[in-house]
Amino acid sequence: MTSLHFHLRPVALASALAMQALAAVAQTAPAAAEQGGTLATVTVEASADASAGGLTKPFAGGQVARGGRVGILGTQDNMATPFSITTYTNQLIQNQQAQSVADVLLNDPSVRTARGFGNFQELYVIRGFPVYSDDVAYNGLYGMLPRQYIASEFFERVEVFRGANTFLNGAAPFGSGLGGALNLLPKRATSEPLTQVSAGVQTGGEGFIAADIARRFGPDDSTGIRLNAVRRDGGTGIDNEKRDLSAFSLGFDWRSRNVRVSADVGYQDHTLTEGRPSVTPSSTLPIPRVPDAQSNFAQPWTYSSERDKFGTVRAEVDITDSVMAWAAGGVRRSTEDNVLANPTVTNVFGDTTGTRFSNTREDKVSTAEIGVRGKFNTGSVGHTVVASATTFDNDRYNAYAISAASLRNNIYFPFPSPYPIANGPGAFVGNLLSNPGLTDKINTSSLALADTMSFYDDRVLLTLGARRQTIEQTTFAYNTGLQTSDYDESKTTPVAGIVFKATPEVSIYGNYIEGLVKGNVAPTVANNLPVVNGGQAFAPSQTKQTEVGVKYESGGLGASAAYFDTKQPNFFIVNQVYGPNGEQRNRGLEFMLYGEPVKGLRLLGGLTLLDAEQVDTVGGLTDGKDVIGIPNQQFNFGAEWDVPGVPGFALNARLIYTSKQYANATNTQEVPSWNRFDVGARYLVDLGNSRLLTLRARIDNLFNKSYWASVGGTQGSNYLMMGAPRTFIVSGTIDF
């Protein structure tokens, strides 16, 4: 308890100030009623975005919702949007005991989780393209969430958008998201009071305790507050690996007849000690045999630590019955401190070399958005017109130190090495670790305009629009602080989408949409050596995507199928020089299945078939070869079954399969396919006096399979990440 008190002390003041602000808002509500008449009766649900409609309703079975946010087009029904989206609900998050975004995305066949370059950042690969965790949106705003790991207590739902999306969301500021986007919806107070306490433990000894408390008050329950806090501490299923997490969030919302406001403050302190690192294979040898699932070849002095504070606000105003305006903004302040030692395999016996890589980083992020949406008719044609303007600023401060001494180890028989000096002769140092210097400034802004036209009693919906995006980036040299590169470029990204509702149960759709991100910045280190042009910023990257698909929802069953084709420039390192090397073309088919086709049986999963090939490579040497780290098949399927005759008791199971991947551009290094089987159970117990106890148990990787789960993540990289070992998780939740 002492540790919990210590870690949450910085947010105690923030929560006290927030409570005072909320009280002030509540006191002004009667005055607003006196000026404008009695407040309209509002049916309050878990509206995450201060919108009039609130969250989309859950689909049959409650694991996914009927729709989600489609960027500036707003929240849309799945059957009425010309894009592929899936929204995972809090019911699924809780029942599967998900601890992070990656845990939720284990249900999605179009997504695989990898790792950032040389660190422990969660990285999500959608349709073969990365989405960095710092490009995950929070209530529609980029850059607000912790950069390396996002605790599940921060979000009500996880929205997965598949495909290019620059028109809809603006360019992802940290350089990813060309194949999809993730948006997390914060928690809001519901109409009924909520007091929920959870506790649990998992393999390795990690325990947790969490609280979720919500109340509504004021005239017509117009004001809401929701508090979430969690503390996790202890070992994981991997030998000697330990996690320390303290997280806290406070969400507010207030409504009148024509105004809706919501706000969030959050804090996270996350440290991973002796985390199992990624492994770089030798360029001249086959892929090494994977070690035992629970083994750990990390050095005992390695760690990754990050502390984040953020706040957001969003408001909507109904100007007339058919015109609504909105505004949103947010800030984040983050600090990171890492000491890493990522091994490179040197022979078939598993011997490795490496260096100590220390890094400190600070981020200052601010963002804002304004927009207006209106509806009108021209004859028999309905129009929903939307206009939006956004701005984003990030100042990044960085420092690093690479030891000169080479670390020896073995991935099959690991042993500790002495802590090497990182600033001695032959070491590489950039800025001061104790005082990181400014290395990057990113500024983006955009203007967007779109019109969704409806024909034939809304059976045909046509969306046309464009976004003018400006990206400015300036980089500064380590040690000297001198400017090394600078660009300021603007591009227009259009969109065209159409939906044809063939029947109430079937929608056919198609779209053309483009993606745009800031230019890649050459990494400072690769293969344990400095990159010759480290820090160089390249021009923005653009993709073009076409997609067609069909969606079906009837009764308790939903399904979809889609074909997509996307192309983007390919960047990677050749002879320690980073730069563009041809293009990457991803084509594929996606199939999704979800719902509750029969009472008591819930299904969720699908299949993705990917053809990701290299084109226009230098000299045509690898044209037609598979892109590093992208499998041809991804399959996920889960089922949950209410056991007949035992009220409140349910069993669940999930199968995940990923086909082989390649770890080099010539496709001579093959990483085997893998599959994993998870099982679980939950049981509801009525304790009386309006108290309900939910017991949950889960075993991930039931057969304790050892496998290389991913290859790379950042473009052109080939580091290997191991899958987690068999992990048993048990928890209990009491609703008072």
**DSSP code string of 359-423:** EEEEEEEEEEEEEEEEEEEETTEEEEEEEEEEEEEEEEEEEEEE-SSPEEEESSS--------SS
pLDDT at 391: 97
* pLDDT tens-place string over residues 33-69: 333 333 333 333 444 455 777 889 999 999 999 999 9
> Position 434: which residue type?
S
Work out the pLDDT band at 116, boundaries 50, 70, 90: confident
Query: Which residues in 285-300 are b (16+ Cβ under 10 Å) and which e?
Result: eebbebbebbbbbbbe
Q: What CA dihedral angle connects 154, 159, 165 and 167, to 10 degrees?
A: -70
Question: What value does the mean pLDDT take over residues 429-447?
Answer: 95
With beta carbons less than 8 A apart as the criterion, state whether 83 and 161 touch: yes
Q: What's the average model confidence in pLDDT over 302-311? A: 97
User: Is the model more confident about 258 or about 617?
Assistant: 258
Q: In degrees, to the nearest 5, what angle opens at C-alpha 205 toward C-alphas 200 and 206?
A: 55
Nearest CA among 81, 60, 454 for reference residue 68: 81
Q: Would you state the pLDDT for residue 232?
A: 98
Q: Are 516 and 166 in contact (CB under 8 A)?
A: yes
Q: Name the band, by pLDDT with cuts 50, 70 and 90, for residue 439.
A: very high
Helix or strand (DSSP H, E) at 616: none
Architecture field, domain 2-39+48-179+186-304+313-726: Beta Barrel (2.40)
> Secondary structure of 689-709 in the HEC alphabet?
CCEEEEEEEEEECCCCCCCEE
Give the strand order in the sheet containing 157-162: 84-88, 157-162, 180-185, 137-138
* pLDDT at residue 527, as a whole number: 66
Asked whether the predicted pLDDT for residue 660 surpasses 80, the reply is yes
Please check the confidence at residue 9 and state whether its pLDDT lies above 50: no
Convert the pLDDT of each residue in 502-560 to its tens digit. 999 999 999 999 999 877 777 777 766 778 887 777 778 788 999 999 999 999 999 99
Measured in residues, the chain has a length of 736
**Does position 179 have pLDDT exceeding 90, yes or no?**
yes
Looking at the predicted structure, is the pLDDT value of residue 12 above 70?
no
Instruction: Note the pLDDT of residue 7.
Output: 37
Residue pair 430/525 in contact (Cβ under 8 Å)? The answer is no
Average confidence (pLDDT) over 650-679: 97
Task: Please give the Cα distance from 667 to 456 (Å, whole number).
Answer: 51
| Contacts made by residues 118-123, CB under 8 angstroms, sequence distance 24+ | 118/278, 118/340, 118/342, 118/357, 118/525, 118/719, 119/148, 119/304, 119/338, 119/340, 119/359, 120/148, 120/149, 120/272, 120/275, 120/304, 121/147, 121/148, 121/149, 122/148, 122/149, 122/150, 123/713, 123/714
Is residue 562 within 8 A of residue 556, CB to CB? The reply is: no
Statement: residue 669 has pLDDT above 80: yes
- Better-scored residue on pLDDT, 124 or 570: 124
Region 314-334 average pLDDT: 97
Instruction: Give the C-alpha separation, 36 to 442, whole Å.
Output: 44
Beta-bridged to residue 182, according to DSSP, are 160
Domain boundaries, the chain: 2-39+48-179+186-304+313-726
Distance CA 547, CA 541 (A): 20
d(CA 247, CA 75): 28
Mean per-residue pLDDT, 127-133: 93
Rounded-to-integer distance, Cα 725 and Cα 241, Å? 12
Q: Which residues contact 646 (CB under 8 A, 6 or more apart)?
A: none
Q: Which residue has the higher pLDDT, 367 or 567?
A: 367
Q: For residue 518, give the 3-state DSSP assignment.
A: coil
**Alpha carbon of residue 295 to chain centroid:** 27
Q: Which two tokens stand for residue 15?
A: 């929560």
User: If you write DSSP's letter for every residue of 318-374 in order, what string do you get?
Assistant: ESSSSEEEEEEEEEEEEEEEEEE---EE-STT-EEEE--EEEEEEEEEEEEEEEEEE
State the Cα–Cα distance between residues 257 and 466, nearest whole angstrom: 33
Assign 569 a pLDDT band (cuts: 50, 70, 90). confident
| Better-scored residue on pLDDT, 16 or 695 | 695
Q: What does the pLDDT read at residue 50?
A: 58
Q: Would you tell me how many other CB atoms lie within 10 Å of the CB of residue 727?
A: 21
Mean of pLDDT values over 470-496: 92
pLDDT in the model for residue 715: 75
Closest-CA residue to 709 (of 698, 700, 722): 722
**Whole-angstrom Cα distance, residue 425 to residue 349?**
31
pTM of the model: 0.90
Nearest to 225 by CA among 253, 193, 265, 194: 253
Short-list 183, 104, 95, 202, CA closest to 144: 183
Give the pLDDT confidence score for residue 531 in this predicted structure: 83
Is a pLDDT exceeding 70 seen at residue 4?
A: no
Q: Can you give the pLDDT at residue 377?
A: 97
Distance CA 400, CA 387 (A): 43
Which pLDDT score, from 0 to 100, does residue 10 have?
Answer: 34
Question: What pLDDT score does 543 carry?
Answer: 87
- For 577-630, how does the pLDDT look when each residue is reduced to its tens digit (9 = 90+)? 888 778 889 999 999 999 999 999 999 999 999 999 999 887 888 999 999 999
Exposed, middle or buried: residue 45 (CB in 10 Å: 0-12, 13-18, 19+)? Answer: middle
The pLDDT of residue 16 is: 37
Q: What percent of the chain has pLDDT over 70?
A: 92
Residue 18, pLDDT above cutoff 60: no
User: How many angstroms separate the CA atoms of 130 and 108, rounded?
Assistant: 15
Q: Order across the sheet with 351-354: list the strands.
A: 344-345, 351-354, 407-410
Answer with the residue of higher pLDDT: 489 or 85: 85
Whether the Cβ atoms of residue 245 and residue 8 lie closer than 8 Å to each other: no
Give the bridge partners for 522, in sequence order.
none
Q: How far, CA to CA in Å, does 19 sit from each of 12, 16, 188, 226?
A: 11, 5, 15, 11
Q: How far apart are the first and last CA of the chain?
A: 22
Q: Are 136 and 182 in contact (CB under 8 A)?
A: yes
| Residue-level pLDDT at 522 | 79
Question: 462 pairs with which residues across the strands?
Answer: 453, 498
What value does the mean pLDDT of the chain take? 90
Phi, psi of 256 (to 5 degrees): -125, -165
CA gap 167, 162 in Å, rounded: 14
Q: Kindly state the average pLDDT of the residues 397-405.
A: 91
* The pLDDT of residue 119: 83
Q: In the 3-class helix/strand/coil scheme, how is 274-316 assigned residue by residue?
A: CCCCCEECCCCCCCCCCCCCCCCCCCCCCEEEEEEEEEEEEEE
Query: Which two three-digit tokens encode residue 35?
Result: 């000026």
Rounded CA separation 494/468 (Å): 9
Q: Give the whole-angstrom CA distance, residue 229 versus residue 233.
A: 14
| pLDDT value, residue 284 | 92
Helical ranges in 141-264 per DSSP H: 166-169
Buried b (16+ CB within 10 A) or exposed e, 366-377: bbbbebbbeeee
